[in-house]
Amino acid sequence: MRLRMELAIAMLLAMAAGSAAAPDPAAAGAPPYHVAPGLLDHQAPDLGLRTATGTRSATVFRATPEQGMFNNGAVPVVFRGRLYVQWQNSARDEDSPDTRVLYSHSDDGEHWAAPAVLMEASEDGAMHSSGGWWTDGETLVAYINVWPGGFQSGDGGWTGYRLSRDGIDWSPLRPVTGADGAPVDGVIEQDPHRLADGRILTAFHRRPGIVAAPFFTDDPLGVSGWRRGSMRNLPHAGHASRELEPSLFLRRDRDGRECAVMVFRDQGDSYRQLASESCDRGESWTIPALTAMPDSRAKQSAGNLPDGSAFLVNAPSGQRERMPLALTLSAEGRCFDRTFLLRGRDDLPPLRAEGRYKRPGYHYPKSVLWNGRLLVAYAANKEDVEVSQVPLASLAADDARAACAGASH
């Protein structure tokens, strides 16, 4: 009996020692970017942020009981000089069977047309959700995510697309395909980006479940030829990966190569962003690392301004609360040292209706550059679809930078 106890204790100690010695995959490498210490004041209202000169906001769609009180997943695009925003819409609840995809357009970002239906709710038990846009300049691509068993099943889904040459008439839904000609078995993230040589990078959330994986294609239209990049996901229980819903920005490494930094929400509840980097045109990616950028565990938007500066748009609360909505900048994509308020607590209207997963805040921002402005679309309280515009000249004129340590790599 005593021997068995001693053996059991020895095994437990060995297991504990092994666990302590096992490296944390998130610590396998330095994070791709840093945040200036003290950039955000978590004791101050709206994190102590100020608004860039000329920032203004407008409502794309105000929720009504007649047209649906749940709205989220707003994504903007510019096509033939006109702004478009698509989003998913339902009567009351998030990810419900009656979810459909709507879109609207504007010529000035202030006044928006009545919404049109891009994809009706399914009649066969599947669910449709907004998948974002792409364009080669001549054709507008609307991605539609299709969840055959509904989102709540946890089985995941596939990506379809519709094409338009005028933003009015649309082709039938067809599946997005891989390099082998078969449909890609996953739902696309709403945020594709183009490299300097024309290659398109994004991520699909692959089945079974929702497992984020980087993909790339050389098809200018972004509807075929997709290949999976190599990236090792962090350990995480459940049907979803720890890394979810990424966006990305570009930068140059010390050898002058163009690198892509993919920014993820962290399902591991760190309330900070995860990030991975590729410097070989999206074919291989570093193990996602935990960054110092606070996040509300929600979608975010990343990209580059015309001068090459990298930006992040998110709710950097460092907790579940999705406010304020902020824009954070880095000249070279290594040290994020300037930040601005887009929408604060006092800007948020009251929640007007209950519904599954609805709560106050600014949800799922996505962005686009247009006419000398950065335009960010999002949902307020998962009810109203709104946009905020920031003049790029205001960002360039501001030189109030915080000191960023540890960004020499």
Q: Parallel, antiparallel, or unpaired for β 335-336 and 34-35?
A: parallel
CA distance 161 to 38: 43
DSSP string, 201-247: EEEEEETTTBEEEEEEE--TTSSS-BEEPB-PPPP--SSB-SEEEEE
Residue boundaries of the structural domains of the chain:
28-397
Q: Which one of 3.50.50.60, 1.10.10.60, 2.120.10.10, 3.30.950.10 gives the CATH number of domain 28-397? A: 2.120.10.10
Cut 0.75: pTM above it: yes
Q: Which positions ≥6 away from 370 have C-beta within 8 Å?
A: 76, 78, 83, 109
The one-digit pLDDT tens for each residue of the chain (409 residues) are 333 333 333 333 333 333 333 334 334 579 999 999 999 999 999 999 999 999 999 999 999 999 999 999 999 999 999 999 999 999 999 999 999 999 999 999 999 999 999 999 998 989 999 999 999 999 999 999 999 998 888 899 999 999 999 999 999 999 999 999 999 999 999 999 999 999 999 999 999 999 999 999 999 999 999 999 999 999 999 999 999 999 999 999 989 999 999 999 999 999 999 999 999 999 999 999 999 999 999 999 999 999 999 999 999 999 999 999 999 999 999 999 999 999 999 999 999 999 999 999 999 999 999 999 999 999 999 999 999 999 999 998 777 788 776 544 4
